Structure 1
Amino acid sequence: MRALIVFCHPKEDSFNASILSLVTSKLEAAQAEYRVRDLYRSGFSPILTSQELTDYLDETKNSVRVAQDVADLTWADTLIFVYPTWWYGLPAMLKGWLDRVMVPGVAFIMPQEGETIRPGLTHITRMGVFTTCGASRLLTAMIGAPGKRTLTRGVRAICAKRCRTVFAAHYLMDSSTPDSRAAHLKRVATKMDRLCA
């Protein structure tokens, strides 16, 4: 098992950092290899530049500026996201990572006339999505949970057909308690056990 963890939170002492720590400890216990892409601490730029958009369809150029991220994505067979849900969606930093790294020829195969895109991440057989939400589960569901859908449906659709996928969210994070946070970490641990099995 080779896991790429994409971690996205600006604060080093966040609850999301606690989730990351649990995820890495579970991977270590499973004797899995892993790499952490800490988007904030590494200074990742989420901005898709004009030149990158120009080069987007050119597979000889479109991954040059994100070569290490593409190498990590190609190396992995497991993709794990740890991030806060803001305004029901992905943080701009994480969305920018998807925009810049999930390029044609890497994440998906561009369609021929009359076709649709084809999966490019067929080597990704496992996916974990772990997030925190300020809103309640009900309100998030009413809005449609666009962040969750982007990852567990959109990214999942370009992975292996039987990609094992787990998801856990701590809702009402802004009014969380030590007990609610401990319960969430327990859920994450259970999901990680399932992912590593």
Structure 2
Amino acid sequence: MRILLVLAHPLEESFAASVAGTVRRRLEANGHAVDLLDLYREGFDPRLTPSERARYFEPGYDPSEAEPFVSRLKEAEGLVLVFPQWWFNFPAILKGFFDRVFAPGVAFESDPAGGRIQPRLGNIRLFWAFTTTGSPWWVVHLYMGNPVKRLLKRGIAAFCAKGLDFRMVSLHDMDRASEEKRKAHLARVERLAGRL
């Protein structure tokens, strides 16, 4: 399977980078082709341009301003995201990736009459996310209602593709995680990636 592995963290030596490296090594060991897209290192601009927004709902939307990222998404059969949650949300660069790359004609098709959108990412069969939160589990799930998972699963994944293998794996309370807890999480990530 060809997998687009998207990393969204500004620090090269981050724990997220370690997670992405673990996922990549395991997937490649299992024979998958992995395209690592490190949004920061590749200089991805998350800002939706005025011209992109002005023609967003016009027929035949041209996503060329977001190339080559659009092509890489279209070529993938699986999408794996690695990112920290900040303020119970995506890092801005990842939100911009969704805004600019998951565009009309690429990820979905808009009904001109204003009805439901139609998924266009039929090439994507797998959509996984590996993430960390600074908050404990109970704050994310019980107090906040796990907003990132809801956005990914019920929003982006459900509106852009059908019949996906969706999974989100989180390390909670990251700010106080011991070295032992981090190592155990990386081992869990490796086991899960090894199932693919």
Report the equivalent of 1:136.
136
Q: Distance in 2 between matches of 1:76 and 1:59?
A: 25
Asked if 1:193 corresponds to 2:177, the answer is no
Q: Distance in 1 between matches of 2:102 and 2:3?
A: 17
Q: What TM-score do you get using the length of structure 1 for normalisation?
A: 0.93
Report the equivalent of 1:154.
155
- CA drift at 1:47: 0.8
Report the equivalent of 1:165.
166
In 2, are the aligned partners of 1:82 and 1:130 still within 8 Å (CA)? yes
Deviations 1:129-188 (A, max 9, x none): 000100011101121222222222222213543211222111000001011101111221
Q: Distance in 2 between matches of 1:66 and 1:109?
A: 17
Structure 1 residues 160 and 44, CA gap change in structure 2 (3 angstroms): closer
Structure 1 residues 40 and 59, CA gap change in structure 2 (3 angstroms): farther
Report the equivalent of 1:100.
100
Output the amino acid matched with 1:175: R
- CA drift at 1:61: 4.7
Which ranges of structure 1 fall in alignment gaps of 5 or more residues?
none
Asked if 1:10 corresponds to 2:10, the answer is yes
Q: Distance in 1 between matches of 2:81 and 2:114?
A: 33
Q: Distance in 2 between matches of 1:16 and 1:40?
A: 12
- CA drift at 1:28: 0.8
Structure 1 residues 182 and 30, CA gap change in structure 2 (3 angstroms): same
Q: Secondary structure at the match of 1:180?
A: helix
Q: Distance in 2 between matches of 1:145 and 1:113?
A: 33
In 2, are the aligned partners of 1:66 and 1:101 still within 8 Å (CA)? yes
Report the equivalent of 1:19.
19
In 2, are the aligned partners of 1:5 and 1:81 still within 8 Å (CA)? yes
Q: Secondary structure at the match of 1:124?
A: coil
Q: Distance in 2 between matches of 1:39 and 1:114?
A: 32
Structure 1 residues 182 and 172, CA gap change in structure 2 (3 angstroms): same
Which 4+ residue blocks in structure 1 deviate beyond 3 angstroms? 58-62
Count of residue pairs brought into register by the alignment = 195
Q: Percent identity?
A: 39
- CA drift at 1:193: 2.4
Report the equivalent of 1:67.
67
Q: Secondary structure at the match of 1:135?
A: coil
Q: Distance in 2 between matches of 1:32 and 1:59?
A: 36
Q: Secondary structure at the match of 1:156?
A: helix
Which ranges of structure 2 fall in alignment gaps of 5 or more residues?
none
- Map 1:29-108 onto structure 2 (within 5 A): 29-58=29-58, 60-108=60-108
Q: Give the aligned CA root-mean-square deviation in angstroms.
A: 1.5
- CA drift at 1:89: 0.6
Q: Secondary structure at the match of 2:80?
A: strand
Q: What TM-score do you get using the length of structure 2 for normalisation?
A: 0.94
